[in-house]
């Protein structure tokens, strides 16, 4: 195997970000195999051709089934909306293609279960499947995980996680597809709450067992769009009903009994992309904020009493995760770098025959937590068990 020929299906915001990852990773890291941006797939022939030209894909195509059937394709990267993930991913895995699937793994637990099963079967044949919780590969987040694993915080006593944005504060923001359940599947909970859940489980290495929570919609009616479906569409006449949540507040209990508080909101005025976590243990604490993504806050309870404090570790040293490929110490990375790191780990996993995390099983576990939160919310916030099944292997 000399090259990995990649087909990417979908070409929205995530398409741009994944393209940047495929294009950049081999220029920055020494990969065992070089990925090749072979085909970009989308339904609108002209638009997808234009995107392929812009982003550097060799070809474009309109039928994903045809592309999956091609022998010269090794990897399928899925960045379509969630409702098509299961069908494409399962077909690709069965066709013997390695699959990278953007999160959420699927819009329903049933689909996610089928995907996880398909991934399990494919693994036997040496086929890899990975879900795109890219924030795991922000170097600071990887460092968080490593520090917890090294015992820097000791036993985890509690976790505080949230993901807050503010793009829905304006009540005149129109009723785009993302605010309609039939298209988006879920609102703040599934879109950004999923990241907070994955982060909490990934960083602590602990699975959530039960949840109790409330999901709500603050602005319930919004202006209808004249036409188009983008967020940028102009508001038309009349109002329609928002059918997804825009805020979710929930509490989780890990398998160890420790509690975690969660919040996902699109109404947190002034917070643009504030994915935050704080892990409190008996030896120390760690905190992170995606709006300041090159650093980690670390509190060491084993330091002399008069010298304890949260220290801001700039995660830009050569010894920090993924940093060897980039710039000298003190030179900041950005949001998109996680996509290059994702490509690196996927390519290495394929070359080494090892499943890179997060697996489809990990993605399924997040879906189950989301489902349990919704169930709890509809059930007067009663504590609800996260359904077990496929083990969350990589946790």
Binding mask 271-310 for a copy of itself (x = CB under 8 A): -xxx---x-xxx-xx----xxxxxxx-xxxx---xxxxxx
**Interface region with a copy of itself, contact rule CB under 8 A, candidates 83-91, 112-120, 328-336, 347-355:** 328-336
| Using rule CB under 8 A, residue 311 touches a copy of itself | yes
For the bound state, the minimum distance from the C-beta of residue 177 to a copy of itself, rounded and expressed in Å, comes to: 15
Nearer to a copy of itself, 316 or 365 (CB): 316
For the bound state, the minimum distance from the C-beta of residue 87 to a copy of itself, rounded and expressed in Å, comes to: 27
Nearer to a copy of itself, 20 or 80 (CB): 20
| Using rule CB under 8 A, residue 332 touches a copy of itself | yes
| Binding to a copy of itself in span 219-248, by CB under 8 A | 247
For the bound state, the minimum distance from the C-beta of residue 212 to a copy of itself, rounded and expressed in Å, comes to: 4
| Using rule CB under 8 A, residue 23 touches a copy of itself | yes
Binding mask 146-165 for a copy of itself (x = CB under 8 A): -x----xx---xx-x-x--x
Nearer to a copy of itself, 66 or 282 (CB): 282
| Using rule CB under 8 A, residue 393 touches a copy of itself | no
Binding mask 46-75 for a copy of itself (x = CB under 8 A): --------xxx-------------------
The owner of tokens 């080494």 is: 352
| Using rule CB under 8 A, residue 100 touches a copy of itself | no
| Binding to a copy of itself in span 197-216, by CB under 8 A | 212-214, 216
Single out the residue of 108, 233, 236, 267 in contact with a copy of itself (rule: CB under 8 A). 267
């Amino acid at each position: 195997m000399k090259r990995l020929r990649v087909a990417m299906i979908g070409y929205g915001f995530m398409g741009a970000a994944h393209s940047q990852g495929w294009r950049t990773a081999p220029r920055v890291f020494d990969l065992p195999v070089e990925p090749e941006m072979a085909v970009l797939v989308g339904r609108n022939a002209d638009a997808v051709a234009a995107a392929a030209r812009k982003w550097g894909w060799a070809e474009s195509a309109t039928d994903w089934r045809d592309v999956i059937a091609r022998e010269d394709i090794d990897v399928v990267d899925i960045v379509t909306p969630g409702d098509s993930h299961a069908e494409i991913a399962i077909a690709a895995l069965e066709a013997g293609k390695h699959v990278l699937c953007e999160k959420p793994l699927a819009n329903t637990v049933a689909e996610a279960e089928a995907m996880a099963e398909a991934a399990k079967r494919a693994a036997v044949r040496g086929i890899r499947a990975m879900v795109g919780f890219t924030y795991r590969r922000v170097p600071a987040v990887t460092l968080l995980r490593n520090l917890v694993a090294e015992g820097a915080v000791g036993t985890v006593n509690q976790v505080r996680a949230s993901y807050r944005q503010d793009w829905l504060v304006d009540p005149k923001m129109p009723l785009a597809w993302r605010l309609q359940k039939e298209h988006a599947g879920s609102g703040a909970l599934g879109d950004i709450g999923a990241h907070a859940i994955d982060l909490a489980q990934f960083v602590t290495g602990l699975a959530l067992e039960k949840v109790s929570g409330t999901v709500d919609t603050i602005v319930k009616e919004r202006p209808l769009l004249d036409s188009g479906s983008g967020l940028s569409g102009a508001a038309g006449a009349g109002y329609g009903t928002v059918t997804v949540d825009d805020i979710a507040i929930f509490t989780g209990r890990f398998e160890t009994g420790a509690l975690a508080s969660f919040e996902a909101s699109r109404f947190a005025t002034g917070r643009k992309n504030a994915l935050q976590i704080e892990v409190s243990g008996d030896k120390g604490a760690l905190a992170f904020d995606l709006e300041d993504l090159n650093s980690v806050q670390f509190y060491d309870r084993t330091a002399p009493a008069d010298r304890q404090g949260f220290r801001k570790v700039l995660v830009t040293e050569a010894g920090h995760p993924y940093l060897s490929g980039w710039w000298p110490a003190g030179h900041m990375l950005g949001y998109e770098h996680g996509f290059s790191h994702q490509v690196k780990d996927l390519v290495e996993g394929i070359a080494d025959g090892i499943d890179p995390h997060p697996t489809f099983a990990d993605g399924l576990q997040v879906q189950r937590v989301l489902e349990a939160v919704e169930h709890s919310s509809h059930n007067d916030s009663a504590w609800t068990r996260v359904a077990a099944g496929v083990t969350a292997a990589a946790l």
